Amino acid sequence: MSVTIYDIAEHARVSIATVSRVFNEHPRVSEATRRRVFRVADELGYEPHASAQSLARKNTQIVSAVVPMMTSFFFMEVLRGMQDRLDESDHDLLVYAARTLDRVDGQLARALQRGRADGMLLASTPITPSRARRLAASRRPLVLVDSYHEDFDSVTIDNVRGGADAVRHLLARGHERIGLLLPLAESVPGRDRLDGARQAFREADVDLDPQLVVRAEWDTEMHGFTRYAGYRAMQQLLALPASERPTAVFACADVMALGALRAAREAGLSVPGDLEVVGFDDIESSAYVGLTTFRQPMVEMGTLATELLLRRMREPDTEPSHTVFAPRLVVRETTGAATTALA
């Protein structure tokens, strides 16, 4: 049977209230009594319940993170950055994962329950007016990751710039028939990357053929950010008459690009000879398949967001901080780079 504070009170010959004060570092306890209670607790093998202590101190020593699609490589890396920073603090990380964006509000409600966490990190979730009001009303320290609202601290990537630069890279290599492989429409990063791609086409005075724009409407589990989505989207492009097919493809995520590469090679196409491919993220496997992509600092985003949250918890009245990282082009074999070392 586990040891309770009642057992400690009996053995130390003090009241239960005194034991509670000792464990919660109340100043109105003599040093002799404090030492006696701790000695008895140690002799009995008592381990105080962390949540009970935190409630008494009116904080939880917990930071919550609400993320969609937790199995996504992007979120796994962002969470790693969060955990790396929290390892240097007194806080633990509690993750609320929603499988789709339409389930985020349910997880958000759980994370916002009183007493559950001292602060919250909210990832890749569009901040609608109703969500903004709800978050503000909670008065919970908050940092947005991969999304933006002027009223809250945020850490984002310039997805518009990334989409534009991806198309610019392919245009510079002589391509005009460029396919776009997109996630579901509700994906904010996907929308931004598409906006950037369209911007690059306009700047170059090149028409974007609508039939070369494929959105993974059939793949709702991960909003289309899957190998299968890229594979099937590439198959759809390859089903076009040969004269209407793309000579290059920009996939809005590396996992989609990996699926596209498989579909192209199954169709007997040479990459980059017959088709060039650009992805976005620079996940670990991209280097091994020689994928040209745009690197976003996923771990660093998680680390910085957590640092901002810890600061917000200490200094709740500071002005919101907004950090925007720039994606960096990493050129590899799928757009003609010579094979060298992994990068």
Alpha-carbon span 339 to 244, nearest angstrom: 30
Whether residue 69 sits in one domain with residue 34:
no
Contact 74, 80 (CB under 8 A): no
pLDDT of residue 56: 47
Q: How confident is the model at residue 278 (pLDDT cuts 50, 70, 90)?
A: very high
**What CA–CA distance (Å, rounded) separates 187 from 126?**
9
Q: Do 258 and 320 sit in the same domain of this protein?
A: no
Whole-number average pLDDT of the chain: 87
Domains identified in the chain, total number: 3
- Per-residue model confidence (pLDDT) at position 185: 85
The verdict on 113 and 141 lying in the same domain is yes
Give residue 71's pLDDT band: very low, low, confident or very high (50, 70, 90).
Answer: low
Q: What would the mean pLDDT of 86-110 be, rounded to a whole number?
A: 83
For residue 84, the model assigns a pLDDT of: 92
Predicted local distance difference test score (pLDDT) of residue 51: 46
Preceding peptide of 246 cis, ω within 30°: no
Residue 216 maps to which CATH number?
3.40.50.2300
Q: Residue 65 pLDDT more than 70?
A: yes
The answer on pLDDT for 58 being more than 60 is no
44 and 173 in a single domain? The answer is no
Return the closest-CA partner of residue 8 out of 40, 54, 43, 34: 40
Residue 276 sits in the same domain as residue 165? yes
Task: Give the pLDDT score at 49.
Answer: 53
Q: Name the band, by pLDDT with cuts 50, 70 and 90, for residue 22.
A: confident
Q: What are phi and psi of 82, to 5 degrees?
A: -60, -50
- Distance CA(176)–CA(202), nearest Å, equals 12
pLDDT band (50, 70, 90) for residue 55: very low
In a domain, 209, yes or no: yes
Q: Mind giving me the DSSP string for 103-159?
A: GHHHHHHHHTSTTS-SEEEEES----HHHHHHHHHHT--EEEES---TTSEEEEE-H
Same domain, 53 and 71: no
- Which residue range(s) make up the domain with 278? 159-296+330-335
Task: Return the H-helix or E-strand segment holding 334.
Answer: none
- % of the chain at pLDDT higher than 90: 59
List the Cα angle 141/145/147 in 5-degree steps: 105
> Phi/psi at 68 (nearest 5 deg)?
-85, 155
Q: Are residues 304 and 236 in the same domain?
A: no
Higher pLDDT pick, 218 / 312: 312
> Worst-scoring range by mean pLDDT, 47-51, 183-187, 294-298, 323-327?
47-51
Q: Could you tell me which residue, 320 or 48, shows the higher pLDDT?
A: 320
Identify whether 149 is part of a domain. Answer: yes
pLDDT value of residue 233: 96
Whether residues 184 and 205 fall in one domain: yes
